[in-house]
Structure 1
Amino acid sequence: MNNTVAPELATALERLRGHFHSGATRSLGSRKKALKALRSSIVAHEEEFLAAMHADMRKPRFEAYLSDIGLLLGEIDQALEHLEAWAAPRHIATPLALQVAESVVLREPLGVVLIVAPWNYPVLLLLSPLVGALAAGNCAVLKPSGEVPHTTAVISRIIAEVFDPGHVLVVSGSGATVVPALMASFRFDHVFFTGSAAVGRSILALAAPGLVPATLELGGKSPAIVDRRVDVKVAARRIAWSKYFNAGQTCIATDHALVHSSVLDEFLDHFARTVRKAYGDDPQQSPHLARLVNDRRFDMVRQYLTQGRLVLGGALDPADRYIAPAVLTDVSLDSPVMREEIFGPVLPVIPWSELEEVLAIVQRNPHPLATYIFSSSRSTQRFFRDRIAFGGGCINHCLLQFGPPDMPFGGVGASGMGRYHGRYTFELFSHAKGIVHASTLIDHGLQEPPYTPFKERVLRRVL
């Protein structure tokens, strides 16, 4: 395999480095100008984005605006509002032993960063990290997913309209060939990747030779835990929403439901009613249900339907990449549907009776990216919140942890490394440079040789 980029791309990459070194991206004014231009272009092309996401995976208009456009505009607005505070020098206390001096932490841009995005939320997961990178004063290379060509075309067009190619550059093509070639040909100052754990490991391996820092936003088997002390109807409705939003193709979707055995039948009944109310008797005709992104994904998810007792849905149409919202019971914990991230509209439901049972089931897999705890008992909420290691989650709801722009988002262990959103993205793409500014008006020289008993006594008192 040829792990080098074409000469014209190599030149473009060096242009990015030169643009950064010119200082053109450092001033707060230039950063705000870039963010405002990006925001204006997104608003101007909103209808094109919505149409493109529908063409790529039948994403409902409401879901596309909520998850890709609305959240992104909120990120830009927050960055514009708080940028001066984020970038301001932060003065910190100076120990007595270091006086006379003052200490300050400066935030500086990293340089040229690479952002590699997936197909499931193709606008948000590419441009949200870009917002923080621009706010911090960086140049960026964007690698959108090749699985959503209509959306990628719109992204490429607006980036070319808004930014000088020396500031932000879009590189298209197969990620399996393009990303290794990019990282072998050019040392990025940070790599931000969203996708599967398997590809995340490859990204880390590619970053290692150049000691390139990397942020990995991955996934995992995120459970929804339903206690017997809860409004079961509300729990069923909210879990169904999280499971079938974007046809289950969400890294923080409910992967499976762990339901207390005493409310299992009630949960299944309310769940089925919720699905019928949301999508009708024939969900394939509903405009509110997305499709699986490609045939490979369809073939993978359809296999899960045979790994338990199908109690809801499961109708198939390969030509439409359609799988009806499905629920499985009597599922073996050793089956692939309980060992692999499902990433589709199939929900295994597992009963439990004791709290420790839930821990044992969750701990069979690597740390999940999310966990959702449904209980009206504060002690039960705290038990699962504190005993399960997960990236983030909700109590009595699902997915909402992605929404607050001030809340850090990211995984733990195999579900990812690094945090972003709002200020956290700004700090991720900037370097905290510590400076101690010492006075020359008073030069006591206590720290310099010769080291006398008097100096040692002073040292012991001030340290």
Structure 2
Amino acid sequence: MSTKGPDSASSVGLVPYEDTLRRLREAFRAGRTRSAEFRAAQLRGLGRFLQDHKQQLQEALAQDLNKSAFQSDISELIQCQNEVDLALKNLRAWMKDEYVATNLLTKLSSAFIRKEPFGLVLIIAPWNYPVNLTLMPLVGALAAGNCVVLKPSEMSKCTEKVLCELLPQYLDQSCFAVVLGGPQETSQLLEHQFDYIFFTGSPRVGRIVMAAAAKHLTPITLELGGKNPCYVDDDCDPQTVANRVAWFRYFNSGQTCVAPDYVLCSPETRERLLPALQSAITRFYGDDPKSSPNLGRIINQKHFLRLQGLLRCGRVAIGGQSDESDRYIAPTVLVDVQETEPVMQEEIFGPILPLVTVRSLDEAIDFINQREKPLALFAFSNSSQVVNEVMERTSSGSFGGNEGFIYLTLPSLPLGGVGNSGMGRYHGKFSFDTFSHQRACLLRSPGLEKVNDIRYPPYSPWNQQLITWALGSQSCTLL
């Protein structure tokens, strides 16, 4: 089912969404989502939705963010389809009980971890990759056997409309609902108790969601953002670095939570990087980037005006043009920015890249470590020793050495933050694990009680010594 707002039309006097949540809870308690067959059917339905409505999704993404069909495919649709296919292929293996080692006291028992669904899950998605960041966690929630309330972003309104009107037709509506609306509706949802909450968005809103979850002691995953540093060593090929940094910075018009947010380099490297970045931008988007089919647009006027204000920080070395009527901001490079300026205090989330000069690798690492832990961190150098040193002496949700966020295409690697950039992880099996309660189970025969006498008081010196020894001995139980 989908609902355009609180359930007031059908349930006057009730708390908003109460009817919807009650129906989903009843379905979960009835065990409807538990079987592997049901979960697989839901995943296949999600896969069919992606295939049947590929064109509508591409058109919606073009209207919301000016994404080309190719960019929508590689960053959104293919990623989601791959996630569905992986879950279907591995579902039964992921669901299997995981047997664990026992000690001598439990040698006659069967010890294992059972992967159980949490129950009723709330997924709150953002607008910058409105298909990917909505459906990727949904795959994990469905595979794990949960009932789901999905809250897509109201900012990407065209994509929201497709998800609301078409996706419920492919899933069991007694176990799934789409809820529309903005901050007010989200706040009303968060007043209810869920069994798990998955939120993707800003650290500011993440704190609000976490505070709401804390009222009910609800477990939570927060996929947040922050300012992702990119260190560029003197020992590098500037054009190679510029190509890679520019592609990742300006992809989706910079509206990517794991994009490099600023570059740290020496003054000498900065002067080598600037013409290389200009060359890369021209190569990618032509002499008139505004007319390029490969450059996106800012999501709305509010964010456009915020980014336009950031263009006044430091000095524009490349780009800087903007057009409010088209929500267009050119691929821009800033230099001579001050640490206290807004562009270095807030996540940019747009096609603006500040270059900050440092005198040494140590100074760059200190600069990074004095700030909140980022969602992603990048280091470019011909020296593997330099790359490894940056990786070993810093902390971040993910790390790219001589590479950007292409690691997001690997379901074998988790996506997740640390500290201010979030908590929890997902993608591939990590998504299944995130939405599954790991239940510790120990089963033993009701007979053979004589064997248990050793653990009952009173304890003789011999009993104590034997129990101590038995507790310290581990053996692998294969059942």
1:5/1:181 contact within 8 Å kept: no
1:100/1:442 contact within 8 Å kept: no
1:392 paired residue among 389, 395, 398: 398
**Helix, strand or coil for the counterpart of 2:454?**
coil
2:108 paired residue among 97, 100, 107: 100
- Specify the code of the residue in structure 2 equivalent to 1:91: Y
1:12/1:166 contact within 8 Å kept: no
Q: TM-score, normalised by structure 1?
A: 0.97
1:56 aligns with 2:64: yes
In 1, Cα distance between equivalents of 2:222 and 2:100: 31
In 2, Cα distance between equivalents of 1:461 and 1:317: 75
Aligned equivalent of 2:185: 178
In 2, Cα distance between equivalents of 1:150 and 1:345: 22
- Deviation string for 1:49-84 (max 9, x for gaps)? 000011112122222111110111111111111111
1:99/1:438 contact within 8 Å kept: no
- Post-superposition offset of 1:346: 0.7
2:376 paired residue among 366, 370, 376: 370
In 2, Cα distance between equivalents of 1:275 and 1:73: 31
- Specify the code of the residue in structure 1 equivalent to 2:255: Q
- Post-superposition offset of 1:454: 2.7
The number of aligned residues is 459
Aligned equivalent of 2:125: 117
- Post-superposition offset of 1:442: 2.5
Aligned residue runs from structure 1 range 378-417, under 5 A: 378-417=384-423
Aligned equivalent of 2:35: 27
- Post-superposition offset of 1:231: 2.2
Aligned equivalent of 1:313: 319
Aligned equivalent of 1:129: 137
- Specify the code of the residue in structure 1 equivalent to 2:384: R
Aligned equivalent of 2:14: none
1:458 paired residue among 466, 469, 476: 466
- Deviation string for 1:225-281 (max 9, x for gaps)? 111122221110010001110000000011011123332222111110110111111
- Post-superposition offset of 1:374: 0.6
In 2, Cα distance between equivalents of 1:399 and 1:373: 12
- Specify the code of the residue in structure 1 equivalent to 2:185: V
Judge which range, 257-266 or 74-83, deviates more: 257-266
**Helix, strand or coil for the counterpart of 1:446?**
helix
- Post-superposition offset of 1:460: 2.5
Judge which range, 6-15 or 326-335, deviates more: 6-15
Aligned equivalent of 2:362: 356
2:7/2:20 contact within 8 Å kept: no
2:378/2:399 contact within 8 Å kept: yes
**Helix, strand or coil for the counterpart of 1:397?**
coil
Aligned equivalent of 1:276: 282
Aligned equivalent of 1:345: 351
- Specify the code of the residue in structure 2 equivalent to 1:353: R
Q: TM-score, normalised by structure 2?
A: 0.93
1:159/1:169 contact within 8 Å kept: no
In 2, Cα distance between equivalents of 1:105 and 1:164: 28
Aligned equivalent of 2:477: none
In 2, Cα distance between equivalents of 1:296 and 1:364: 30
**Helix, strand or coil for the counterpart of 1:188?**
coil
1:223/1:256 contact within 8 Å kept: yes
- Specify the code of the residue in structure 2 equivalent to 1:196: S
* Percent of residue pairs identical: 39
Q: Give runs of ≥4 in structure 1 deviating > 4 Å.
A: none
1:159/1:168 contact within 8 Å kept: no
1:189 aligns with 2:186: no
- Specify the code of the residue in structure 2 equivalent to 1:182: L
Gaps of 5+ in 2: 12-16, 472-479
In 2, Cα distance between equivalents of 1:18 and 1:384: 51
- Specify the code of the residue in structure 1 equivalent to 2:130: P
In 2, Cα distance between equivalents of 1:391 and 1:89: 29
In 1, Cα distance between equivalents of 2:230 and 2:72: 24
1:431 aligns with 2:426: no
- Post-superposition offset of 1:352: 2.3
In 1, Cα distance between equivalents of 2:105 and 2:210: 41
1:73 aligns with 2:81: yes
**Compared with structure 1, are the counterparts of its residues 285 and 271 closer, same or farther at alpha carbon in structure 2 (3 Å cutoff)?**
same
1:129/1:425 contact within 8 Å kept: yes
1:207/1:213 contact within 8 Å kept: yes
- Post-superposition offset of 1:4: 8.0
Gaps of 5+ in 1: none
In 2, Cα distance between equivalents of 1:238 and 1:293: 24
- Post-superposition offset of 1:286: 1.0
Aligned equivalent of 2:212: 206
1:17 aligns with 2:25: yes
1:5/1:182 contact within 8 Å kept: no
In 1, Cα distance between equivalents of 2:373 and 2:388: 18
In 2, Cα distance between equivalents of 1:457 and 1:306: 74
**Helix, strand or coil for the counterpart of 1:71?**
helix
